[in-house]
Structure 1
């Protein structure tokens, strides 16, 4: 059961999270505020961002990642896959059901 680690600007994060769940690409998205320090175009930047942890399935991950890139306001959005081998079985089953086609 993979989780997508995504960062987004605060003003876009909840909309992106809701859209992922509405489209059944994610069963659940945790929205966590953070501060990011990064290098961009030769300068070190510091910005408020939001971490989105989007729980999905192997079958839905590629589409989730593609849609995040399409919907995201950044030119180079952070979308990273975290594979979870030891998910609680009932949670993994709920997640699979939540992202299944209706």
Structure 2
């Protein structure tokens, strides 16, 4: 409803809209939400107890939402863990 009534030429509405969708998703996830990381610039990442991964934001003037399956989330968490430990292969760093 909110997105359908936004003025596409008024970028000042972006923050309010992003906040609305983020709060809606967090409320919907409820107790399943395990972790929330990121920022508006990098995209906000939400991880659930059943290994779903939501990402919202980082679309400039466009709000994007992606949802990854448990297996994709496991792969991402493994990648981020290995990246933090400095154990990535050369091809993975590119």
Query: TM-score with structure 1 length normalisation?
Result: 0.27
Between structures 1 and 2, the one with greater helix share: 2
- Answer with 1 or 2: which has the greater Rg: 2
Relative contact order higher in (CA < 8 Å, ≥ 6 apart): 1
Between structures 1 and 2, the one with greater strand share: 1
Query: TM-score with structure 2 length normalisation?
Result: 0.28
